[in-house]
Amino acid sequence: MQLTELKAPYLIFLGSETNETYAKTGAGVAHWSPEKCMGQFHLAGGTVDLGLEEHSIESAANQGAKTLLIGTAMIGGGIPESWTKVLVTAMENGMDIVAGVHSRLNDIEELVLAAKANGVKLIDVRVPPKNLPVGTGKKRTGKRLLTVGTDCALGKKYTALAIDKELRNQGKASTFRASGQTGIMISGSGIPIDAVVADFVSGAAETLSPDNDPDHWDIIEGQGSIFHPGYAAVSMGLLIGSQPDAFVVCHQAGRTHISGWPEFELPTIQEVIDRTIDIGKQTNKSIKCVGISVNTSALTTDQAKEYLAALEEEFELPATDPIRFGVENIVRTLQ
Amino acid sequence: MQLTELKAPYLIFLGSETNETYAKTGAGVAHWSPEKCMGQFHLAGGTVDLGLEEHSIESAANQGAKTLLIGTAMIGGGIPESWTKVLVTAMENGMDIVAGVHSRLNDIEELVLAAKANGVKLIDVRVPPKNLPVGTGKKRTGKRLLTVGTDCALGKKYTALAIDKELRNQGKASTFRASGQTGIMISGSGIPIDAVVADFVSGAAETLSPDNDPDHWDIIEGQGSIFHPGYAAVSMGLLIGSQPDAFVVCHQAGRTHISGWPEFELPTIQEVIDRTIDIGKQTNKSIKCVGISVNTSALTTDQAKEYLAALEEEFELPATDPIRFGVENIVRTLQ
């Protein structure tokens, strides 16, 4: 098994969280993969509601829950000791435990012993699978779209999920391919590309979107930015290994500098298009940009429409804010 | 400590090796860092001679050897069980053990216990230091030269070592910065860049060549190629993080395809220059190519001279084969 794979249905564990911001992972899974979520489970004091059925560990297990998915992130990314009993009970009830926080389940001895005793798995989705290959560069069958960005954290995952969903709504064959922890939890499989050893990044990206039917689209979650002073190596390996036929540039309206790197101006959308094509051509000569996806949350609806219309005119490409206006205009370009 | 650091002087361990090809690491260390090598040590049957003084473990320890450096690589990269006794004896005599082979010293329990008991270190130079930072992209003081390539395995390490040596011969301040295992053994410190997790590759490269005196040159060993279908992510992170002022393109005369990737034509030298400048400008606007270094081993001396002269005319840059003709012409361009 070369991808991290999770077993559905999930019981989403929300701890005693009262702040929705810290339950983003659980909310993302419930929003994008409701069919995989059989319920939610709180500790005393927890108030976050994902709109799923409330369960105890036992009632969830009785109704077939196969995985307890930790849907909250504490500040600092830890796994509180007070959770140990709950996690052990879930394992005794036959569930795997899945976490994407900074601390590793597999570093906590009591959990490791309980997993062994109960024949279940502790899955840290930040830890990449072992034995990933070096990239071969060989052309694979099927079609691929990669979301790229002018920076980190401006909608590459959301855009990919939205495009995948729209394609499937239209009856087309499509799979979302997760390259980060939240994406892996949402889709149930993937590879955390940024945690892969440098020599194997493009090989990991090749593994993530294997040969497929000629009409099938893999919609691949992008990472970082090819212009990023910290993370460009990740974006480079993902681009080379994904060998995308199509890419969408993701951007945030009003962002002028690389977030957290204030000395670096954001590259322009044109620069991102040019360099992505320049590098992407190495493994797919027919790579092309098919759209621009913008987080317009800083703008009014009218401003957003005007902003997107200006982009469409400048680049002669469909532009949208996937949250506000959907991605139908981009999907229309995918044959 | 963020670089892997080795303690000189070294006793080079050659096992019972009879084939010089498999003692390349030891030979490289003896050639480039003779001042760090106090002697060599064989097991029965070993015939490879690096021209160093022969020692037993005990006589080497008596003369101050601080490290037993494994200078041979067996096929498969293992550490034979028959070596355990020797390695333990070296540790009992106060030496660290250094290896760059595929197997890890730190995975062999008997060695780990002996290291602990004797207060010495087992250093696997293929394993990067812990806690490497994410790249900041901040400009550092001092000057930097990076060797880049049209492919892997065509002289990037040799060229960097030769340029560093020539600079020092001319009385200039220079340090060779090793980014691979053999380079680390030669120079006594460095970071194995290709083994670093993707998120930290440019940060590792920044760590490798820290702030320095304004007139000091860091001569950084390149890795892979920015056009390589397997390893481009490594080359990308190293380029971004090194923020070189100058780079030298390394090439092998007659090589037409990426070695081991026969479906991929080698990029041209011009393509490598253009893309290296294009990407390198992100962290150093004054990056420029200062020379071309060619492995001309497939050519006669006359053919090599003709080949290099043609390159000089085409690119208006100094071109050389560092083994045949030295690197004085390239070093002359470094201010």
Number of Cβ within a 10 Å radius of residue A113: 12
DSSP letter (8 states) at residue B119: T
Q: Is the pLDDT of residue B129 over 80?
A: yes
Position B110 scores a pLDDT of 96
Q: A interface toward B at CB cutoff 8 Å?
A: 134-138, 193-199, 201-203, 227, 229-234, 236-237, 240, 261, 263-264, 275, 278-279, 282-283
> Which residues are within 8 A (CB) of B317 and not within 5 positions of it... i.e. 6 or more apart?
B289, B290, B291, B292, B311
Q: Which residues in chain A land under pLDDT 50? A: none
Give residue A335's pLDDT: 80
B137, B233, B240: residue with CB nearest A198: B233
Predicted confidence (pLDDT) at residue B103 exceeds the cutoff of 90: no
Say if the Cβ atoms of B137 and A261 lie within 8 Å.
yes
A chain contacts of residue B136, beta-carbon cutoff 8 Å? 229-230, 261
B282/A136 CB distance under 8 A: no
- List CB contacts (< 8 A) between A134 and chain B: 230-231
pLDDT band at residue B9, thresholds of 50, 70 and 90?
very high
Q: At what angle do helices A232-242 and A201-208 cross, to 10 degrees?
A: 50
CA distance A306 to chain B (A): 31
Q: What are the tens digits of pLDDT across the range A197-250?
A: 999 999 999 999 999 999 999 999 999 999 999 999 999 999 999 999 999 999
- CB of A15 closer than 8 Å to CB of A45: no
Q: Is the pLDDT of residue B17 over 80?
A: yes
Q: Are B240 and A234 in contact (CB < 8 Å)? A: no
Residue B335 — very low, low, confident or very high, per pLDDT cuts 50/70/90? confident
User: Which chain B residue's Cα is nearest to A203?
Assistant: B230
Closest by Cβ to B198, choosing from A198, A227, A264:
A198
Largest CA distance in chain A: 62
Cβ of B202 within 8 Å of Cβ of A264? The answer is: no
* Cα B268 from Cα B137, distance rounded (Å): 28
Q: Is 0.95 exceeded by the ipTM?
A: no
Give the pLDDT confidence score for residue A102 in this predicted structure: 81
Do the Cβ atoms of A229 and B237 come within 8 Å? no
Residue B198 has a pLDDT of 96
Q: Does the pLDDT at position B150 exceed 80? A: yes
Residue B158 confidence (pLDDT) above 80: yes
Q: What confidence category does residue B77 fall into, taking pLDDT thresholds of 50, 70 and 90?
A: confident
Q: Please list every residue in chain A whose beta carbon sits closer than 8 Å to the beta carbon of residue B234.
A: 198-199, 233
**What kind and span of H or E run contains A291?**
strand A288-295
Distance in Å, alpha carbon of A261 to nearest chain B alpha carbon: 7
B228 close to B260: Cβ distance less than 8 angstroms:
no
pLDDT at B101: 82
Partner residue opposite A197 with nearest CB, options B136, B197, B263: B197
Rounded to an integer, what distance in angstroms lies between the CA atom of residue A149 and that of residue A223? 8
Nearest CA of chain A to the CA of B40: how many Å? 33
Tell me the HSE value of B222 on the side-chain side, using a 13 A CA sphere: 36
Of B229, B263, B279, the CB nearest to A135: B229
Number of Cβ pairs < 8 A linking chain A and chain B: 115
Is the CB of A198 less than 8 angstroms away from the CB of B134?
A: no
CA distance B240 to A185: 31
Contact between chains at A230 and B194 (C-beta distance less than 8 A):
no
Q: Is B197 in a helix, a strand, or coil?
A: strand
The predicted-structure confidence for A190-199, as pLDDT tens digits, reads as follows 999 999 999 9
Residue of A137, A198, A237 with shortest CB distance to B193: A198
Structure-block tokens of residue B267? 């990029």
Say what the pLDDT of residue B306 is: 98
Tell whether the model's pLDDT for residue B1 goes beyond 60: no
Residue B266 has pLDDT above 60, yes or no: yes
pTM for the model: 0.95
Q: Measuring CA to CA, how many Å separate B254 from each of A44, A310, B147, B320?
A: 71, 50, 20, 15
pLDDT on residue B76: 73
pLDDT tops 60 at residue B189: yes
Mutate to test the interface with A, among B225, B235, B240, B275 (most CBs of A within 10 A): B240
A116-127 pLDDT, tens digit each: 999 999 999 999
Residue A121 near residue A96 (C-beta atoms within 8 A): yes
Do residues A198 and A233 touch, judged by C-beta distance below 8 A? yes
- Residue contact B264–A137, C-beta within 8 A: yes
**What is the tens place of the pLDDT at every residue in A146-161?**
999 999 999 999 999 9
CA torsion angle B87 B89 B95 B97 (round to 10): 10
| pLDDT tens profile B30-49 | 999 999 999 999 999 999 99
Phi and psi at residue A331, in whole multiples of 5°? -60, -30
| Cβ contact A283–B229 (<8 Å) | yes
Q: Cis omega (within 30 of 0) on the bond before A129?
A: no
Q: Which domains does chain B have, with CATH numbers?
A: 4-124 (3.40.50.720), 143-331 (3.40.50.300)
> What are A274's two structure tokens?
């040019």
What tens digit of pLDDT does each residue of B190-199 get? Answer: 999 999 999 9
Helices (H), A1-76: 24-32, 57-62
Cβ(A314)–Cβ(A151) under 8 Å? Answer: no
Percent of chain A residues past pLDDT 70, beyond the cut: 100
For the residues of B267-300, what is the DSSP string, one character each? PPHHHHHHHHHHHHTTT-TT-EEEEEEEE-TTS-
Cβ contact, residue pair A230, B134, below 8 Å: yes
Q: Which residues have C-beta within 8 Å of that of residue B269, sequence separation ≥ 6?
A: B150, B249, B251, B292, B311, B315
